[in-house]
Amino acid sequence: MEAFETYQTPLSSRYASKEMANLFSPAKRFYTWRALWLNLAIAEKQLGLPISEEAIEQMKANLNLTPEQFEIAAVEEKKRRHDVMAHVHTFGQVAPAAAGIIHLGATSCYVTDNADLIFLREGLGYLIRGLGILISRLSAFAAQYRDLPTLGFTHFQPAQLTTVGKRATLWIQELLWDLRNLKRVRDDIGFRGVKGTTGTQASFLALFDGDHQKVEELDELVTKLSGFEYAYPVTSQTYSRKIDADVLAPLASLGATAHKIATDIRLLANLKEIEEPFESTQIGSSAMAYKRNPMRSERVCSLARHLMVLHQNALMTSSVQWFERTLDDSANRRITLPEAFLTADIVLSTLQNVSEGLVVYPKVIARRISQELPFMATENVIMALVKKGGDRQEAHEKIRVLSHEAGHQVKQLGLENDLIERIRADPYFNPIKDELDSLLDPASFIGRAPEQVDSFLEKWVQPALEDPEIKTAIAKSRKVDLHV
């Protein structure tokens, strides 16, 4: 790098999973730099440059930094005002046979950018596996409550009934799209490779005495040694910062999904129909001892908003990269990229925690249905009367009058909805009074919701969860749960 910018572990990593926190730690970063220098040396030696086997072995033996080496690197960085060169010097001290060939022909972005691409790809893997676990947990919840009727809401006003499980499938479907998007962007990530200071590979062409074929082979070999299938065909000094924007886009979209799910849970908690886990000794409010605040869902919403706006940062950085590069991206990316992945990781783990302990209150749900269902059942009542020979328009007028009377009881007097009692008391409805109970059965108002849940889980969710990577992650998470 052309500036003095020390890598620090982001504050949010304290709350992320160990794997994600480690991915963006200084230890992982500088280990990866050394591994990239090793791969470069191996490839250069294989293609004929005079690099000794001793140099290679010393590099292999010292990929992990000791505390003493971190201190040496810090001193060197303060003196040289250049992080990469500080670590070239530090690596050379423990691999003296390689000191003269470490970073041979490379620019700083060989290690910094290639390392970032490695971290992006690995980070997406952690998120994909975590998302798979979350989907599996919510799928079990959806299956359990596939046929439990609940009041649906449009505009947050009472609407036709749905089921608790069907509502959960709406959350899962968006998470499946997020899973698709994360996989797509991970599969699309390439390697910067060995491109030189402005992307022309001039330094490597000089090293190989103008042999273009060997320069191409070097790029391909280092790419394969670093675990990538392909390198970007052309780059400037850096890989295009559009890649960062492409990677953060599905993370931001995941944030939107998480925010919607957590908001729904917060609203349901207000209705006392469904609550997130609440520990027996947990305090909801310092002043109001009775409160059970949905603090985990609120945390998800808070962090999800942060995750969504980080994408804008990547877009702006991409848009102002002049010609072959500028350095105004560096400090920004050192914050934005780790924060995006660490935040997404925390959002997923918190949602998983919520999904594993959701508490459903069927009696509260049934009571709310009973308050609204009489109005929703009026069409069924009218149809039943018509089947018995009644006049549709006359029945509609009768129901309209009684509905307004019942509405007055609820809205003006604060009493219960007594529409059904009014219908029972009116002789006009005698032909169908024996059918009223069945006409008011909530199960008759949920349509195909249970069957939709079954079909969705079978045709869409299960195939996604059968992916070997996700299947293994789910199995490991269950073993952890059993151990705990």
Q: Of 178, 177, 132, 152, nearest to 355 (Cα)?
A: 132
Class of CATH domain 20-108: mainly alpha
| C-alpha span between 474 and 464 (Å, rounded) | 12
Domain locations in the chain as residue ranges: 20-108, 109-192+235-280+289-360+457-476, 364-444
Residue 381: which residues within 8 A CB-CB, separation 6 or more?
A: 395, 399, 423, 429, 432, 436, 439
Question: Residue 222 in contact with residue 39, Cβ under 8 Å?
Answer: yes
DSSP H or E segment with residue 271: helix 242-271
Res 134 pLDDT > 60: yes
Question: Residue 171 in contact with residue 141, Cβ under 8 Å?
Answer: no
Architecture of domain 109-192+235-280+289-360+457-476: Up-down Bundle (1.20)
> CB count, 10 Å around CB of 367?
13
Task: Check residue 423 and give its pLDDT.
Answer: 86
DSSP H or E segment with residue 484: none
pLDDT tens string 352-378? 999 999 999 999 999 999 888 888 888
| C-alpha span between 128 and 125 (Å, rounded) | 5
Task: Check residue 464 and give its pLDDT.
Answer: 97
Task: Check residue 373 and give its pLDDT.
Answer: 85
Res 184 pLDDT > 60: yes
DSSP per residue, 424-436: HH-GGGGGGGGGH
Architecture of domain 364-444: Orthogonal Bundle (1.10)
Task: Check residue 390 and give its pLDDT.
Answer: 86
Residue 100: which residues within 8 A CB-CB, separation 6 or more?
A: 92
How confident is the model over 382-410, as a mean pLDDT? 88
Question: CA–CA distance from 407 to each of 249, 377, 420 (Å)?
Answer: 48, 14, 12
pLDDT tens string 329-349? 999 999 999 999 999 999 999
Q: Which residues are catalytic?
A: 155, 285
pLDDT tens string 246-257? 999 999 999 999
